[in-house]
Structure 1
Amino acid sequence: MPEFFPFIPGTETSRTARQHASDASPLLGRFRAVPRSQQRRRSASALGLLSNGWRGSVHVGYGALIASELDRAPQDDDSNDGYEDDDGAGWAQRGYRWARRNVEDLFIAPRQAAVKRVVDKWWTRWGILVFLPAALAVAWCAIPFPQYPLRPGDPDRNPGHDDDHRAPGHGSARVQVNFWFFLFVYYGFYNLTALMWITKVFNLYSLNWWPKNLGFPLTITLIAVLGLAAPIPVYMVPELNFLTIHNTAWISWTFVIMAMPVAIAFCILMLHERHLGLRNSLSETQRIFTSSWWTSEGDSVADRRRDRRRMGLNDYTLDPDNVLQGPPSQRGRASAMMRRRWLPASFVRFVWFCLALLVGLLAYLIGEAYAEIYLRTLPHNNLETVVYVYSWVITVHLLDALTGWILGVSEGERVGSYPLSWIFKLYFMLTYQTYVRALYARLRSPSQFILLQALSSSSLIVLVPLTMSMTYHRIMTFLGLTTQSYASYQKLCIRNVFIRFIAENVSMLAFLGSILVLHFGSNKDVYPYFAFDDPEDIEDGYNFGFTFYASSITWACELVAGFLLRALIRWCFGVNASIEGKLDLAVWPELLPTSMAVMLHVLQNMLFSIIRLHFH
């Protein structure tokens, strides 16, 4: 089996890239030079794709070219692709090889043909993008906790007591749970998912964050062990026990664990002095575009220093590294100008990428704070519910807009990565949806469900087509809010509709599944949020049946609203949101496992924020 993440900087590792690579088309940095005749053939096939095979698509640029290659490529459903021949093997062995091949081709080293085959059919697309992550999240919270009765005199026996440290909206703790089971099973899997999500994001960025000498398995194992070992002294010291019973403290520690890969990658770049200039010599092809090709001067910083000393030149005036370390008289404005001048674009791009990750990690901490505020102020009337929901909507969309601006979607922007913008759009959309779903468990009347759903569906059906219109795009261009062509702008709008559809369905399915297994399962007392057995609430008609059926009706309304929206878009603009989503996943196959990781992580956040921790 190949390595988990086989990216090697400066090379093209995908099968499609190797298939189309040739000696006549050398790799020039991040791009491959393609003969003009081959460009014409690919452009023609792309036009055929957009007009026939994928009617209604607005895929433009690189995506259209790769999609055309996929459309013309023969299907390889029955090929073993390097695996052992199945002839003569038993059914169990054939099944194992089939499962291994599909797991590898879809999640470990994704292949475009394999991903395209899965997302082409609506039932397999639903199965892998909606049902699978929801099922994993529900199974995780359904693992039975070892539970013990509360001690006599425990503050949780008297909700509202001055010593009660938890918010009343979560419900008072009813049992004590085993700390070691929580740490190594429940929290351990939560941390592992978070690390895999960060790793897959780095994989989309095409950068390995772990030290080369240690390798990925050892590095992630050390971080995972640290994530589990650090809370043990806090639990063992009685004076610090108050920290272990707060959900926010555990989520904050996971924030630190997720930030470690970012810090490690940054330190590696700094140690290799990537922020100062080229450390390694360029290839012969890359040197064509530098002055070193005709001046015979070395292209790395070390080469330039050596050449200038041999020529008797002053290093302080020519070498930016020495300017930063030179005599005080040469510092100040000149050194600042040289520092800005010699920051490589790749390093600046990485700094922007780290900033986007930071904003994303802060989002779910802010969401936890919102949930705490809402639950501490229960019950709410209709107006307060709407204010809470839409203040969270505005907050998430502002963070999403900031991250989208940082990442960009076109080459030459700050990060300039369409796949990364796709994943972060899914992350923020799902973060918004999960906290709204958790809110459904505290809506106390049908009018609150109707009001929220009416506002959500009507705004979705009306506003999305308006924002996709050419007039709206012209206004955005005039105000300087976008520099994209109308086709590219429309592509992003269609992509966002597809991502919203995924986020709505996977979050609602996980919510309904979790309240079923937590209300009727063995962890009911660990999650009193879903107990629905308060006598006063039951008298008011607020119970499990009301929440479950009202949420199911809300989900049906969302499905109808989504269908009407896609039909309206297809009628008004002639494009299909499902086709655009399938094309994205097929063109960038790494989107599939990364989407799985981010969805599972965000769904776990929803459930982790409402667990009641009271350790034995």
Structure 2
Amino acid sequence: MPSFFTFQQGTESRGSNNESSPLLGRFRAVPRNQRNSVVTFSQTGFSRPGLGLGYDSIFGDGERDGEVGDEGEEGEEGEETGALRRWARLMRDLWIEPKQAVVARVVRKWWKRWLVLAVLPALLAVAWCALPFPQYELPDDDDDDGLVLKPSPLGHKIPGHGEARVEINFWFFLFVYYGLYNITALMWITKVFNIYSLNWWPQSLGFPLTVSVIAVISIIGPMPIYCFPQTLFIAHHNTSWICWTFFIMSMPLIIAFAILLNHERHLGLRHSLSETQRIFTSSWWTGDSDTLSARDRARRPPASQGTFDPDAPLDVVLASDMTNYTRERALTLRKRWLPASFVRFIWFCTALFIGMMAYVLGESYAEIYLRTLPHNTIETIFYVYSWVITVHLLDGLVGWILGGNEGQRVGSYPLGWIFKLYFSLTYQTYVRALYARLRSPAQFVFLQILSSSFLIILGPLTMSAPFHSLLTLLSINGQTLQSYQKFCARNVFIRSLSESVSMLTFLGSILVLHYGSNKDVYPYFAFDQEQTPTPVPPPGNGSPALPIGGSGEGYNFQLTLYASMVTWACEIVAGWIVRRILWLGWKMDVTGEARTDLAMWPELLPTGVIVMVHVLQNMLFSIARLRFH
């Protein structure tokens, strides 16, 4: 099996023999292709201090390290074999074991970067939702989810994402549709562990066997719910499946935690100091097996009165008491002291847990709202903006946990990059879900003016030195101005990427679901005006959308498609304006910084693609109406 994780194990101390290499988590990574090129996380922030690792070294001569030369093999084995080997090697060097030179070549050209980071995730998500379901007509005497819905002033209450129109084959859903959904979720967890440089599976079992067992559990678990009529109603709720996926995604964390506990990674004194090490410590003359701080150690341990023999030599009594004291002291330290590597792992698990909980909470929140319609204006405003604030608070909390400087909890810039992308795309799916219920071009224009204005004004404002000084004064940010501005430039790129990939997925999904065979499985994209007397928003990755009032005039597929395309063009122009402002004002090259990040940490590319596919699948999964035959 190819090695999924290639890294050089470091020490648990804050320092390292190679301080110039970036700290990704428990291990210090050393670039394989450019050993002389380094990136440092200083105590004040992220820096690339003139180390020949700028744009020229990554995107210029450095590419030759990763060139694939199979001319000799092509002559011996033929052009087809050589081309196949080049393709297989490219897939390995780009997705399985990404290499700096190969990733740098891909992200150097704008069209390659756009195809890999935007088109590919959107294409995978749309292809997944376009898989044709085996469908059956609904029984005449059935109601939604087998429950009688309470009447409302509008008559029969219809959930915001529509009523189930057909029954679907449970086994196809479980093995194909839901199976692919869970595999993507497991790949996301695995790739995040990859960036952290830690294998989550038992070494004795290996990755293929472990992930296969978890995949089998994810399939077998829901079967009893379908087989017993008394519990079938549970399977008709999307939230039930989201919660089961959350449990499946938590299994790698549980396994990794159990492995570390089994190896006593939580104990600081697993091994005693060697005789050579003890020469340079006070343990040489005190008799301690490990070094203790002077304030915690008595100069001379008290003699035990219970075992004191007045006729015994003094040195024998002291030696006996010293042995008991040392043993008890070492045992106390083993219970009290947690090594830095284990503490960082706990922080890492906390950040990952918060990220997984975000879409579970959002899905549950949206499901409750959509099944309790109608709501008055105050309730709707509270629901929508409370979720928006929640997403940003969770994003800030995870960003604080991960940090960007060595010594800050996890202290991993690449992990912060990935989780920023995760929350940014989570928010953008909320915006896209809104577009399917806008009812006039004026509403699109109003929404876009607000969005672009905030980006163009707040983007440069948050980059300014006075704003950074304010954050520093409030103890919200402790980075230097240069490091802080680099993070802001990264966030601008991630926002633009999230906008593009979410809009591509939205446009592709309304096309294949409105005209494709799964139209009745996703009634939200049916655009039936008569079934929505008031505009009702759906969850996007478990997130709501603003309900826009109106009579329904102009609400159709054509308006949504063309107005969304115009909106996307406006977003691209707004992003271009912001980048020009940042370059003219602070000489910050947003695209150049992003290219350097992707080339410096090649794992960002496959991990980012998997994360985007996972979030986009959440958006589509949440609006599918599940009724099993």
Displacement of 1:113 after TM fit? 0.3
Partner of 2:96: 108
Whether the aligned pair in 1 keeps the contact of 2:46 and 2:404 (CA below 8 Å) is no
Whether the aligned pair in 2 keeps the contact of 1:148 and 1:177 (CA below 8 Å) is yes
Please give the residue correspondences for 1:172-187 in structure 2 after superposition, counting only pairs within 5 Å. 172-187=163-178
Aligned counterparts of 1:172 and 1:412: Cα–Cα separation in 2? 52
Please give the residue correspondences for 1:159-198 in structure 2 after superposition, counting only pairs within 5 Å. 161-162=149-150, 168-198=159-189
Partner of 2:240: 249
Matched, 1:451 2:455: no
Partner of 2:483: 488
Partner of 1:327: none
Whether the aligned pair in 1 keeps the contact of 2:10 and 2:27 (CA below 8 Å) is yes
Whether the aligned pair in 1 keeps the contact of 2:8 and 2:28 (CA below 8 Å) is no
Displacement of 1:391 after TM fit? 3.5
Deviates more, 1:226-235 or 1:381-390: 381-390
Displacement of 1:426 after TM fit? 0.4
Aligned counterparts of 2:70 and 2:328: Cα–Cα separation in 1? 51
Deviates more, 1:388-397 or 1:482-491: 388-397
Matched, 1:60 2:47: yes
Structure showing greater Rg: 2
- Note closer, same or farther for the CA distance 1:105–1:79 as it changes in structure 2 (3 Å cut): same
> Partner of 1:540: helix, strand, or coil?
coil
Partner of 1:49: none
Whether the aligned pair in 1 keeps the contact of 2:9 and 2:28 (CA below 8 Å) is no
- Note closer, same or farther for the CA distance 1:198–1:166 as it changes in structure 2 (3 Å cut): farther
Deviates more, 1:596-605 or 1:528-537: 528-537
Deviations 1:284-333 (A, max 9, x none): 99x699849988986799xxxxxx9x975445655566338xxxxxxxxx
- Give the alignment partner of residue 344 of structure 1, picking from 312, 336, 339: 339
Matched, 1:4 2:13: no
- Note closer, same or farther for the CA distance 1:294–1:383 as it changes in structure 2 (3 Å cut): same
Whether the aligned pair in 2 keeps the contact of 1:400 and 1:428 (CA below 8 Å) is yes
- Give the alignment partner of residue 87 of structure 2, picking from 99, 102, 112: 99
Whether the aligned pair in 1 keeps the contact of 2:145 and 2:236 (CA below 8 Å) is no
Please give the residue correspondences for 1:429-468 in structure 2 after superposition, counting only pairs within 5 Å. 429-468=424-463
Q: Which amino acid aligns with 1:435?
A: Y
Whether the aligned pair in 1 keeps the contact of 2:175 and 2:219 (CA below 8 Å) is yes
Aligned counterparts of 2:221 and 2:49: Cα–Cα separation in 1? 46
- Give the alignment partner of residue 322 of structure 1, picking from 319, 323, 331: 331
Question: Which TM-score applies when normalising by structure 2?
Answer: 0.81
- Note closer, same or farther for the CA distance 1:536–1:174 as it changes in structure 2 (3 Å cut): closer
Q: Which has the higher helix share?
A: 1
Displacement of 1:83 after TM fit? 11
Whether the aligned pair in 2 keeps the contact of 1:349 and 1:414 (CA below 8 Å) is yes
Displacement of 1:535 after TM fit? 3.3
Whether the aligned pair in 2 keeps the contact of 1:166 and 1:172 (CA below 8 Å) is no
The RMSD of aligned alpha carbons is: 3.8
> Partner of 1:85: helix, strand, or coil?
helix
Please give the residue correspondences for 1:2-401 in structure 2 after superposition, counting only pairs within 5 Å. 2-7=2-7, 9-10=9-10, 60-61=47-48, 66-67=53-54, 70=58, 73-76=61-64, 79-80=67-68, 85-156=73-144, 161-162=149-150, 168-279=159-270, 291=281, 312=320, 313-315=322-324, 318-319=327-328, 322-323=331-332, 339-340=335-336, 342-373=337-368, 375-376=370-371, 389-401=384-396
Partner of 2:468: 473
Displacement of 1:84 after TM fit? 7.9
> Partner of 2:160: helix, strand, or coil?
helix
Question: Which TM-score applies when normalising by structure 1?
Answer: 0.82
Partner of 1:26: none
Whether the aligned pair in 1 keeps the contact of 2:130 and 2:513 (CA below 8 Å) is yes
> Partner of 1:75: helix, strand, or coil?
helix
Displacement of 1:584 after TM fit? 0.3
Whether the aligned pair in 2 keeps the contact of 1:457 and 1:561 (CA below 8 Å) is yes
Partner of 2:304: none
Displacement of 1:462 after TM fit? 0.3
Displacement of 1:536 after TM fit? 6.4
Deviations 1:233-272 (A, max 9, x none): 1111111111101000000100011011111111111122
Matched, 1:607 2:602: no
Matched, 1:568 2:568: no
- Note closer, same or farther for the CA distance 1:232–1:135 as it changes in structure 2 (3 Å cut): same
Q: Which amino acid aligns with 1:323?
A: T
Aligned counterparts of 1:241 and 1:432: Cα–Cα separation in 2? 32
Whether the aligned pair in 1 keeps the contact of 2:59 and 2:104 (CA below 8 Å) is no
Deviations 1:544-590 (A, max 9, x none): 11111221121111111111111111111111100010000000001
- Note closer, same or farther for the CA distance 1:361–1:42 as it changes in structure 2 (3 Å cut): closer
> Partner of 1:368: helix, strand, or coil?
helix
- Note closer, same or farther for the CA distance 1:157–1:61 as it changes in structure 2 (3 Å cut): closer
Partner of 1:592: 605
Whether the aligned pair in 2 keeps the contact of 1:116 and 1:582 (CA below 8 Å) is yes
> Partner of 1:148: helix, strand, or coil?
strand
Aligned counterparts of 1:522 and 1:383: Cα–Cα separation in 2? 38
Aligned counterparts of 2:176 and 2:412: Cα–Cα separation in 1? 35
> Partner of 1:562: helix, strand, or coil?
helix
> Partner of 2:520: helix, strand, or coil?
coil
Q: Which amino acid aligns with 2:2?
A: P
- Note closer, same or farther for the CA distance 1:214–1:387 as it changes in structure 2 (3 Å cut): same
Aligned counterparts of 1:290 and 1:197: Cα–Cα separation in 2? 46
Aligned counterparts of 2:603 and 2:483: Cα–Cα separation in 1? 21
Aligned counterparts of 1:284 and 1:108: Cα–Cα separation in 2? 44
Displacement of 1:74 after TM fit? 4.0
Q: Which amino acid aligns with 1:594?
A: T
- Note closer, same or farther for the CA distance 1:314–1:242 as it changes in structure 2 (3 Å cut): farther
Whether the aligned pair in 1 keeps the contact of 2:395 and 2:420 (CA below 8 Å) is yes
Deviates more, 1:199-208 or 1:533-542: 533-542
Aligned counterparts of 1:284 and 1:299: Cα–Cα separation in 2? 11
> Partner of 2:111: helix, strand, or coil?
helix
Q: How many residues align?
A: 564
Displacement of 1:278 after TM fit? 4.4
Aligned counterparts of 1:482 and 1:398: Cα–Cα separation in 2? 15
Aligned counterparts of 1:188 and 1:358: Cα–Cα separation in 2? 22
Aligned counterparts of 1:107 and 1:32: Cα–Cα separation in 2? 18
Deviations 1:484-523 (A, max 9, x none): 1111000100000011111110011001101100000010
> Partner of 2:47: helix, strand, or coil?
coil
Aligned counterparts of 2:369 and 2:81: Cα–Cα separation in 1? 53
Whether the aligned pair in 1 keeps the contact of 2:236 and 2:628 (CA below 8 Å) is yes
Where does the alignment leave 5 or more consecutive residues of structure 2 unmatched? 12-16, 293-300, 302-317, 533-550
- Note closer, same or farther for the CA distance 1:291–1:245 as it changes in structure 2 (3 Å cut): farther
Q: Which amino acid aligns with 2:510?
A: I
- Note closer, same or farther for the CA distance 1:495–1:594 as it changes in structure 2 (3 Å cut): same
Whether the aligned pair in 2 keeps the contact of 1:411 and 1:417 (CA below 8 Å) is yes
Whether the aligned pair in 2 keeps the contact of 1:315 and 1:322 (CA below 8 Å) is no
Aligned counterparts of 1:260 and 1:63: Cα–Cα separation in 2? 42
Aligned counterparts of 1:600 and 1:387: Cα–Cα separation in 2? 30
